Amino acid sequence: MDGLTELLACIQDISGGNYSNDIMELTKDGYDPYVREVAESVGMMMVKIEAREFALEQAYDDLKSNIVNTVKATARGLSLRDKYTRGHGERVGRYAHRLALSASFSEEDVWTVGLAGILHDIGKIGFSDKLFFNEDVRVDDEMLAEIRQHPESGFRMLRGLKFLGPALDYVRSHHERLDGTGYPNALKGEEIPMGARILSISDVFDALTTTRTYQEAMPLDKAFGIIRKLAGPSLDSELVEIFIKEIEENGLEVVEEEFSTCTDKDGVAKPACSYLPDPKVSDL
Ligand SMILES: [Fe+2]
C-alpha cells in the first residue's frame, strides 16, 4: 500500500512528541485513499493535542507566576513591620540574580537563586513583637535564639511549594558559614549549596551598604574589605571576587522607593513600621 510505511513512521514520531507536519504530506494525491484518510485524522488529532498542550503550559506558567507573586508580596509585607529592612529582600534577590549570572549559572538556576534572595528572610514574619517593636537595640540570648530560627521557619513556610525546588534549601542555609559556625544546621564547606553561598554574600553586602539601626551605610571600599575578610571562614572566596567585580562594573541596587511599604508619599515612616534590633552582620 503506497505510503503505509511513511504513515507508520509519522505516527511513531507524533506519539514520541515530535509534532512535525510530515503527516500532512500523506494526505496529498498519489497516496492510497486509506493512507490519506488515516493521515488526515491523525493530523487533526495532532493539531488538537498541540493546542491543548500549549494551553496547559500557559495555564501552568500563569499559575506559577501568580503563586510566585503572592509569596513575594508576603515577603515584602515584612517591611510593614520592619522599616530598616525595607527593600532588603528585593535588593538581595537582585544581587543574588546578578551574582548567579556572573558565575555562569544556568538560566533556571539564576531564576531560582534570585527568587530565593527575595524570600530569604520570610521566616522573620514569625518574630515576636518584642523583636519588632523593642526600641532598645540590645539583643539578649532569648532574642538571639529567636532571630536564629528564621531560616528554618522560612523553609517550613515555603516547603509546600514544590516548584521552588532548591530555593527552599537556599532559604534555610543562608546563614550557614563555610567553617561550620553558622546556623541553623552548622553545615560546613561543600555541604552548603552554591545558591545559599550566593545569598550569604548578597545578604551581608546589602546589610553593610544600607543604613541600619546600628550603622550608617558603608562606602563601597569598606564593604568590599569586610566581605573579603569574611571570604574563607564564612563566605565563598571565588564568589566574593566575582561579586565585587560585578558591583564595580554595574553598581549598587536601589529599590527602596519602588518596594517600600513603610513610608508615605513624602518619605515619612508610617507608625506601624518599627525596626528589628540587629546584633551584628553575621546574625542578620
Ligand atoms: Fe536572614
Residues 20 and 150 in one domain: no
Note the pTM of the prediction, 2 decimals: 0.78
Residues 8 and 128 in one domain: no
Q: How far is the CA of 144 from the centre of ligand 1 (A)?
A: 12
Residues 191 and 146 in one domain: yes
Q: Using CA atoms, how far apart are residues 205 and 242, in angstroms rounded to an integer?
A: 13
* Residue-range definition of the domain harbouring residue 37: 4-53
Q: How far is the CA of 155 from the centre of ligand 1 (A)?
A: 12
Number of domains in the chain: 2
Has residue 86 been placed in a domain? Answer: yes
Counting beta carbons within 10 angstroms of the beta carbon of residue 279, is it exposed (0 to 12), middle (13 to 18) or buried (19 or more)?
middle
Read off the pLDDT of residues 66-113 as tens digits, 9 standing for 90 and up: 999 998 888 888 877 776 677 899 999 999 999 999 999 999 999 999
Alpha helices by DSSP H, listed for the chain, are 4-15, 22-25, 33-76, 78-81, 88-102, 107-119, 129-133, 141-147, 150-158, 167-172, 194-208, 220-230, 237-250, 256-259
Q: Using CA atoms, how far apart are residues 116 and 194, in angstroms rounded to an integer?
A: 12
Q: How far is the CA of 201 from the centre of ligand 1 (A)?
A: 11
Residues 168 and 271 in one domain: yes
Q: How far is the CA of 234 from the centre of ligand 1 (A)?
A: 14
Has residue 62 been placed in a domain? Answer: no
Residues 143 and 229 in one domain: yes
- The CATH number given to whatever domain includes residue 266 is 1.10.3210.10
Residue ranges of the chain whose pLDDT lies below 50: 260-262, 269-284
Residues 209 and 274 in one domain: yes
Has residue 68 been placed in a domain? Answer: no
Q: Using CA atoms, how far apart are residues 167 and 110, in angstroms rounded to an integer?
A: 11
Q: Using CA atoms, how far apart are residues 227 and 221, in angstroms rounded to an integer?
A: 10
Has residue 144 been placed in a domain? Answer: yes
